[in-house]
Structure 1
Amino acid sequence: MNGLLAGRRAPYAVAGCALLLGAAACGHSSSQHAATAATATTTASADTPGRVEVHGRDIELDVTSAVAHLDAAGNGTLTMTVHNGETTPEHLDFVATPNAGRGVLTGVASGDNGSMQDAGILLPAGTTVAFGGSGPTVRLTGVQGVTAAHTLPVTLQFGVAGLVHLDAVVAGS
């Protein structure tokens, strides 16, 4: 009987460990994510690919002009403009594309606006950061998942705002 009870508890123990490991691995507490998810509103329009707005308590981000410049092999860059309208600094931590694709972030060499820090690319309070050109960059390699509408689903991970989804316009490079 003891073996039977232990066998029934094992799946719960494994699930509990996975939950704890997942929360620890992401670097943010689950209460931070819950608070962000409960208070942030994301607005993305299918009529305006390349644009998303995220607004909530301590969150005011506008991502505009998101374009994935890709060659035939799916290599290139993601350019975009990110406006942090809040009084709190924000960081872009991670960029993901379909099929486990990932963007490589590179910050500017000097200055605070767009520099690479431990938490990601710095987006100071009340500023606009242009990714691409002389600003920070997002390099894409072997990207898959371009839609028939010539857009690329992209997920941006911010330190305060959390996960933000948008469709970047795809242009040949």
Structure 2
Amino acid sequence: MIATRTAPRSVRLVRAACAAVALAALATACGGHDEGDTAPQTSSSPVLGRLHVVAPDVDLTVTDAVAHVDASGTGTLTMTIHNGSGVPEHLDMVATPDSGRGQLVGGRGSGSGSMTSAGILLAPGATVTFGSSSGPSVRLTRAHLGADHTLPLKLEFGVARLVELSARVSGG
């Protein structure tokens, strides 16, 4: 209900206080992580294109990350992501060096791998293969490769937050 000038001042104050409490509760519920949250623990792996992230409500494994790019840095990123946690996760963003971004494209269907308002859905217990015929994909443009013929990536997830890995590079 909207407060109007005809309502007594005390009624308007109560309505404003209720609205403020509701907004604060909504912001807390949707705000994600606060500074007291435990940072994700990334296990290092000697295998290029692989990453395992563990934290409260997070158990993500990224495998087989390969950037298929041509000389201009245009192409696709293929990888497999397994969400071993009991909560839904979303891949929100893929960043490359020099402020580059990968364009996320959702897979067919409405389940894991589909595009939602929060990013690519990774349902609890699901494994999603990026770059498969019906799965989601990441399009790269002007990606700048590392000196060791790898592509440093930053992946931003809704729950796990920002993680880093290097993808192996294959010609486009």
Quickly name the TM-score band, shorter chain normalised. Answer: 0.7 to 0.9
Deviations 1:22-68 (A, max 9, x none): xxxxxx74x705355x24201233x2110011001110000000000
Asked if structure 2 preserves the Cα contact closer than 8 Å seen for 1:76 and 1:139, the reply is: yes
Deviations 1:140-168 (A, max 9, x none): 00111x12221110000000000010000
Distance in 1 separating the partners of 2:36 and 2:60? 16
Cα distance change on mapping 1:87 and 1:35 into 2, 3 Å: farther
Query: Which ranges in structure 2 are unaligned for 5 or more consecutive residues?
Result: 1-29
Q: Which residue of 2 aligns with 1:153?
A: 152
Query: Which ranges in structure 1 are unaligned for 5 or more consecutive residues?
Result: 1-27
Letter in 2 for 1:34: E
TM-score normalised by length of structure 1: 0.78
Q: Which residue of 2 aligns with 1:63?
A: 62
Distance in 1 separating the partners of 2:154 and 2:44? 13
Q: Give structure 1 regions of 4+ aligned residues with deviation exceeding 4 angstroms.
A: none
Number of equivalences: 142
TM-score normalised by length of structure 2: 0.78
Larger radius of gyration: 2
Q: Superposition pairs for residues 118-129 of structure 1, below 5 Å? A: 118-129=117-128
Distance in 1 separating the partners of 2:167 and 2:123? 23
Q: Which residue of 1 aligns with 2:97?
A: 98
Q: Which has more helix, going by share of residues?
A: 1
Distance in 2 separating the partners of 1:92 and 1:116? 9
Distance in 2 separating the partners of 1:82 and 1:172? 22
Letter in 2 for 1:99: D
Asked if structure 2 preserves the Cα contact closer than 8 Å seen for 1:80 and 1:130, the reply is: yes
Q: Superposition pairs for residues 1-173 of structure 1, below 5 Å? A: 29=31, 32=33, 34-36=35-37, 38-45=38-45, 47-134=46-133, 135-144=135-144, 146-173=145-172
Asked if structure 2 preserves the Cα contact closer than 8 Å seen for 1:93 and 1:119, the reply is: yes
Distance in 2 separating the partners of 1:50 and 1:60? 17
Letter in 2 for 1:116: M
Distance in 1 separating the partners of 2:90 and 2:35? 18
Letter in 2 for 1:151: T
Distance in 2 separating the partners of 1:33 and 1:100? 26
